[in-house]
Structures are given as C-alpha cells and as structure tokens.
Amino acid sequence: MELFPPIESRESGWLPVGDGHEIHWELSGNPTGPVVLFVHGGPGAGTQPAYRRFFDPGFWRILLVDQRGCGQSRPAASVEANTTADLIADFERLRRHLGIERWLLFGGSWGSTLALAYGQAHPTRCLGFVLRGVFLFSAAEIDWFLTGMGRFFPEAGRRFATFLPPEEREEGLTAWRRRLNHPDPAIHLPAARAWCAYEEACARLLPLAEEPGPVGPSGLALARIEAHYMAHQGFLAPGQLLNGMAAIRHLPAIIVQGRYDVICPPHTAFALARAWPGALLRMVPDAGHAAMEPPLRAALVEAVERIKAAVTGG
C-alpha cells in the first residue's frame, strides 16, 4: 500500500510541561476520529510532516508530538530533565490537555521503546500498538549500535570509530557525550555530524549515495539526546519492558520489522512477539531500518489499516 496524500495540520501549539520544557504538538486528519499518537524515534529525532501520511486522514485524528529537546520543542537539543519518565508524563499531560480518552500508539525504533513504556504505565489509555524496528534498550542493543553495526557497514563503522582522537577512544560513549554537550559549536557540531552520518549509513538496506549535509539543530538533538539516553540505558531497568508485558498483553498489536534492520536487529522484535502471543509480527523481507523505505512504509500503512477493526470493535 502507498502512503496517503500529503495533508496540512489543522491545529498545533506548545504545551509547557515543567522543568523549562515546552513540547510541540500538531493535529491533522479527522477531528472526530480515533486518535493515533505518532511516537518518534531517536531519541532526539523529532517529527516531520511526511509522517502524517501513514494514516488515513478520513479515519484517524493524527497527533504528532516532538519530545523534549526535539524538533520544534523548546529548548532545542536539551538533555536537562529529559528521561523516559519525563516523556511518559508529557504524553499524559498532553492527552489531558487535548481531551483525549484513549489513543493508538505508533512508534518505531526508540519510538517503539517509549510506546511500550508508556503503555505499560498507562494501559487503560491505549487502544493498541503498531511498532516498527523494535528496540528495548538492553545493554547488548546499545553496545551493538556503538560497535556492532560496523560488521555490516565497515566503512561507516571505521569512520565512526576513528572520529575520536586515539587518546579518547577507550572512553567510548563518555568521550562522545563530552563532545556533544560541549558549549562550543566548533566541537559539538562535528561530533553530531559524525554520529548522525554513522546512523544514517546503517539505516537502509540500500544506503543513500549522497554524503550527509551539514548538521543543524535537529542533527545535534538526535546525537546529543541519543547519547544521553544510551549512557543511562534508556532510563529503564534491565529487562523492564519484556518483564512488564502483562499490563498490555491483552491489547492489539502489530509489529513490523525489516529483515535486514542493522540498527535494530530482528531478534528483538521476535523476542517481543514471543512475549506478546496476541501480537502479529510482520517480517518485511526486503527492508532495513528506515521507515520510509518503500517496502517498510507499505507494510506500516497496511498495519495501521488492519488495526482499524480492532480499534473500532469491527
């Protein structure tokens, strides 16, 4: 299935959530339809207008939210008071602010992590889940991102590993965070560009030919916030999400996974599906990680269409 045609948002704003943060939100689609919450990845990636196109605008009330420090949220690229618990609380504040009773959660990569964490904290507020490129923030997954992806993309892995000067390489993530959080743009922007280039190079079954362009605020937010969450194991206890499945096991779910997703390898989605017997796991045979790869985006649109019946009780 193809993406739905482009649409404009019809309502948007910033919601103060405490700690000096304001999160940006926007609504589009059917004003009286069931709500779908787009939970973006990263952490730090933010939303884009194209993400509205996964959803039938005649059926869904489509809510896009930039998490703390991301996208149009303010202050940009901030890691202060930025934890998983904070983001869950932000969603609840926004839900109450907009008068939403329940919503479908649609999240990929880190978005799948946060959707699961929110759902387990507030199961009665969830209609169901569509998840892509599952990431559970285990120590093994973090280590894979930092050192393992280069087994499949050795050129990118080599560039990433050698960006740090030799005397900093043993520090690993600590050195990256020091550079990414440095106040001088001459230090934090090159580090952000190297971090983002590494992730971008590993995101697709067929990598893009062109070199990544300059890194602006969005790239800095992605690199800085991603490293922040990795350093704190996603602000989750070991095994927390798989151990917490009893809270949401009764809810409908579709898991869409690229067979050749190097950033979030399929064994994690498989483990989640085994812990969620009612979930449907759709393994896409010709896709990597990026949601906009044609086979993956088609499978995501199909998944959202398929879950309509469960949401409406049809």
- The yes-or-no answer on residue 286 being catalytic is no
Options 28, 109, 112, 218, the catalytic residue? 109
Cβ burial, residue 113 (10 Å; 0-12/13-18/19+): buried
Is the distance from CB of 269 to CB of 257 less than 8 angstroms?
yes
Residue indicated by tokens 């730090």: 44
Contact 220, 96 (CB under 8 A): no
Round to whole Å and give the CA distance between 304 and 58.
13
289 is catalytic: yes
Contact in structure between 8 and 21 (CB atoms under 8 Å): no
Cα end-to-end distance, the chain, whole Å: 21
Rounded CA separation 2/264 (Å): 24
Calpha distance 37→60 (Å, rounded):
10
- From 40, 90, 188, 261, active-site residue: 261
Residues labelled catalytic: 109, 261, 289
